[in-house]
Amino acid sequence: MATQEKLKLALYWAASCGGCEIAMVELREKLLIVDQVAEILFWPVAVDVKYKDVEAMPEKHIDVCLFNGAIRTSENEHMAHLMRKKSKVLVAFGSCAHEGCIPGLANLYDRDSIFEYAYRESPSVDNPGNFVPQTAYSLPEGEVHIPKFYNTVKTLAQTVEVDYFLPGCPPQPHQIWAVIEAILAGNLPPKGSVVGANEKTVCEECKHTRQEKKIKKFYRIHEMIPDSTQCLFDQGIICAGPATRGGCGSLCTKVDMPCRGCYGPPPHVVDQGAALLSAVASVVDADTEEEAARIVGGIADPVGTFYRFGLPSSLLHRSQLGKK
């Protein structure tokens, strides 16, 4: 290993929360091995390399770029194009880059309505100038620029060509390590593949006992105390497990909380929300239209439940612009 050239690695975050960075730290001692085998050329959270240094790099200088975060602003978009240009392999790392994740829920609104609330309507706001942020503003000393905030959150693959997808919010450390090992060994699947995850759903990893499902009533998490050994979905708690790719170890159901779907759709499923909606409705225990409508009518906020992580990557991508 000492004679091999070090892997030139870059990590970047767009519209994200930093959880994917912490996931790298959760590699714990293994991160010191990464230090042995890789040279980190760009990682704003940890290294004092600046944007101008990346702009100055030759094309395809970086071997692998792990890009997390969704594309929310013009700066995120610019960086997606920049990292694509400078990297041989670009990985959509984590749910935000992969499918939009939680910031993607903003696709139920638009720039104007978000700005209106954040800067004018919110109860603690003080805004005598009635401002909203401007992409260019003249201060006494000079002009200050901020990126444009787009109406719609996009995934990395909706912006540039992506080589691999590593799902999860965030990806679990053991999965990240498996992918790093595959990269070092030159052992990656065909381009466009999902890596660091299983081929079946979360249910396969979950230890709760599953019976035939016949739901008479749906419960929200605070409305009942579930039996720890039985499938949560059987008990009427909507669990995204059946429509979510496995590989995380089913950590949430382990502590009796339902899966919310952060690993994205299982293989061959194009729209995770629609798949989950279909699964949930199909097992409703109703033999008349009225009864069925009544039971599924008890599901509050379908879009927020079924499309929690995958709204931007879904078939419709966002709610209709211009509609209230």
Partner 1 sequence: MQKISIDPVTRLEGHGRIDIFLNDAGEVVNAYMVIPELRGFEKFAQGRRVEELTDITPRICGVCPEAHHLASTKACDAVFHVDPPPTAKKLRELFYSAFYVADHTVHFYILGGPDFVMGPDAPVAERNILGVIHKAGVETGTRVIQARGKAMDIIGMLGGRKIHPTFGLPGGVGKALTEEERQQIEATAREEIEFALFTLQLFRDIVLKNPIYMDLILSEAFTLPTYYMGTVDAKNRVNFYDGQIRVVDPEGKEFIKYSPKDYLDVIAERVEPWTYLKFPYLKKVGWKGLVPGKDNGIYQATPLSRLNAADGMATPRAQEAYEEMYKTFGKKPIHNLLATHWARLVELLYAAERLLELATDPEITNPHVRNIPTEKPTEGVGTVEAPRGTLTHHYVTDEKGLVTKANLVVGTTNNYAPISLAIKKAAQAVIQKGQKIQEGMLNRVEMAFRLYDPCFGCATHSLPGRMPLEVRLFDPAGNLREVLKRNMD
Partner 2 sequence: MTEKTFEPRIIGFLCNWCTYTAADTAGVSRMEQPANVDVIRVMCTGRIEPSFILKAFAEGADGVIVSGCHPPGDCHYTNGNFKTFRRMPLLEALLAQFGIEKDRFHWGWISGAEAPRWAQLARDFTEKVRSIGPLNWSRQLASKED
Give residues in contact with partner 2 (CB under 8 A).
108, 150-152, 270-271, 273-275, 277-278, 280-282, 284, 286-289, 292-293, 295-297, 299, 301-303, 306, 314-321, 323-324
Q: Cα 162 to chain center, whole Å? A: 15
312 neighbors 104 (Cβ within 8 angstroms)? yes
Q: Cα separations (Å) of 316 from 95, 106, 108, 218, 263?
A: 18, 14, 11, 26, 19
Q: Binding partner of residue 31 among partner 1, partner 2, none, CB under 5 to 8 Å per kind? A: partner 1
Q: Nearest approach, Cβ of 67 to partner 1 (angstroms)?
A: 14
Q: Binding partner of residue 87 among partner 1, partner 2, none, CB under 5 to 8 Å per kind? A: none
The residue among 20 and 195 lying less far from partner 1, judged by its C-beta, is: 20
DSSP letter (8 states) at residue 68? E
Give, rounded to a whole angstrom, the gap between the first and last alpha carbons of the chain: 59
**Is the previous residue joined to 140 through a cis bond, with omega within 30 degrees of 0?**
no
Q: Binding partner of residue 302 among partner 1, partner 2, none, CB under 5 to 8 Å per kind? A: partner 2
Q: Nearest approach, Cβ of 324 to partner 1 (angstroms)?
A: 12
Query: Tokens 């693959």 sit at which residue?
Result: 157
Q: Nearest approach, Cβ of 274 to partner 2 (angstroms)?
A: 4
Cα(270)–Cα(282) distance, rounded to whole angstroms? Answer: 19
The residue among 161 and 227 lying less far from partner 1, judged by its C-beta, is: 227
Q: Binding partner of residue 137 among partner 1, partner 2, none, CB under 5 to 8 Å per kind? A: partner 1
Taking alpha carbons only, the member of 294, 276, 273 closest to residue 285 is 294
Q: Cα 172 to chain center, whole Å? A: 13
The residue among 163 and 264 lying less far from partner 1, judged by its C-beta, is: 264
> Quick check: 278 binds partner 1 (CB under 8 A)?
no
Instruction: Compute the chain's Rg from CA coordinates.
Output: 22
> 287-306: which residues touch partner 1 (CB under 8 A)?
300-301, 304-305
Question: 306 in helix, strand or coil?
Answer: helix
Q: Binding partner of residue 278 among partner 2, partner 1, none, CB under 5 to 8 Å per kind? A: partner 2
The residue among 71 and 90 lying less far from partner 2, judged by its C-beta, is: 71
Q: Cα separations (Å) of 297 from 216, 218, 308?
A: 12, 10, 19
Q: Nearest approach, Cβ of 189 to partner 1 (angstroms)?
A: 26
> Quick check: 5 binds partner 1 (CB under 8 A)?
no
